[in-house]
Amino acid sequence: MTQPCTDVLIIGAGLAGLATALHLAPQRCVLLTAGTLQAETLWREPASGWAQGGIAAAVSPADEPCRHASDTIAAGAGLCDPDVVAQITAAAPSAIEWLVNQGVPFDREPDGALALGLEGAHGMRRIVHACGDSTGAEVMRTLAAVAARTPSISVLERARATRIVMVDGAVAGVEIERDGVRLVLPTARVVLATGGVGGLFARTTNPLGSYGQGLVLAARAGARLRDLEMVQFHPTAFDLGGLDPMPLISEAVRGEGALLVTADGRPVLDNPLAARDVVARAVFASLQRGEQVFLDARDAIGAEFPDHFPTVTAKCRAAGVDPVTQLIPVSPAAHYHMGGVLTDATGRTTAPGLWAVGEVASTGLHGANRLASNSLLEAVVMGTLAARDIAGVPESGFGGAASPLAAIAALPDGGRQLKGTDRPEARLRRDMFAVVGVARDGATLGPLVARLQDEVVARRHAGSGDAFEAVPIATLAALAIAWSALRREESRGAHTRTDFPAPGIAAHQTLVLEDLLLTETLTGGLR
């Protein structure tokens, strides 16, 4: 079924999607969400609402955006784009001001100044937070309420995008599934704001519904992907009771003095506020030696813990651990994807008519390792910049098609998706964490890539229409990440190869969908 032509279609209602929609106003847009836009519940669905730490911004009189930029580049291990870093860090104070004007209740000092926290690899306190460790939830509640009363934003709830329709090489519409009905929404401008890939891993701090949907939508539309092997593992996920996903223990806890220790009290590393990749490797190494790792906040924070970190406190106590008086068991878990759909500084992808914002995008801000609390910042700033860019693009275009509606209506209805097979199976999640986790090697990556390639080939032969559309989203996303990890024969940032422990020449790695079935020797693939 083909629906009347829409204006801008935004896929995803996390912070990046909401920021884009609000900055497009009064230009009309449709916000597509798999959940609902109810302010009281929306924060639970996208990963944005789970963010604890806060938003990094040089808002202190003692701070400067150039210092924020320098810390970002240092953490990024050679793969940051300095121009993009400068652009986003310079825009950070304005982003905070915009959020304040929307009504976000950021925490403040007694004199009214914004309260600023410290997190790993930051040279000074610059983390703006709300309700202690509930920043993401508060930001999402606020912006969802603003969006709900913005006339230019139409919301399509309980719907998922299954395909971006391309006509003559440009975006012409989006195929969606809602309540078992297939719809095609014609539009020449689409924004991907679908989040990350954490649900692909057996140990994750992300919503399980995030497993690379945006990557696959973009790749099937012909867009280029970049640095997919760069998956950040947070070093302190709460490791008790087999919880899935694993509750996050905010880096801000270490910012207030908590230490990482073994059961006998020995420090796991000298600097608990080092960059996340460094801390995650240290924690992982201890676990591999059979040593349990704990976060010890008893002396540094003690009785003040519940006031500073109410979310963490509630999750710990629900599992029978009191962080005021007890050690908190932790281990690394998949947390954030630095790789993604390649974009320019305005969010444009290599597919005409397609933008990407937030975690699904690879802008060049994060490089090989994201600096703490730069994720929500990027979502707000890039949503703003993408909206400005989109506003200058004509509503029509459709790749030059004389009759885009007719072209879309003529598409076959069946055979594009195997219903019920998109989500990752338990085996795939276990294999992704074990093989493409904190430490990787070619001896295990190679067989995993080969197995997933075989599955893709078998699914393609069983399907119809587009050669890749019969392949489950999770399978394609996992293959893309594992294949990229196999090709990068070096250790850099979040990507650690035990068989290639030294860094090579800093270079990005890009791919298109067809590359995933290459079977020749996977060397020299960086370009």
Strands 190-192 and 354-356: parallel
203 vs 197: CA distance, rounded Å: 12
Tens digit of each residue's pLDDT (9 = 90 or more) over 177-230: 988 888 899 999 999 999 999 999 999 999 999 999 999 999 999 999 999 999
| 87 half-sphere exposure, CB direction, 13 A CA radius | 19
Catalytic residue from among 126, 254, 276, 416: 276
For residue 414, is pLDDT > 50? no
Tens digit of each residue's pLDDT (9 = 90 or more) over 269-312: 999 889 899 999 999 999 999 999 999 999 999 999 999 999 89
Work out the average pLDDT over 500-507: 97
454 vs 45: CA distance, rounded Å: 33
Listed in order, strand segments (DSSP E) in 204-323 are 225-226, 231-238, 259-262, 293-296
Longest dimension (CA), the chain: 72
Q: Does domain 236-332 have CATH number 3.90.700.10?
A: yes
The confidence score (pLDDT) of residue 395 equals 61
Of residues 465 and 172, more confidence is placed in 172
Whole-prediction pTM value?
Answer: 0.92
Tens digit of each residue's pLDDT (9 = 90 or more) over 74-99: 999 999 999 999 999 999 999 999 99
The structural domains of the chain, with segments of one domain joined by +, span 236-332
276 tagged catalytic: yes
H or E, element range at 342: strand 340-342
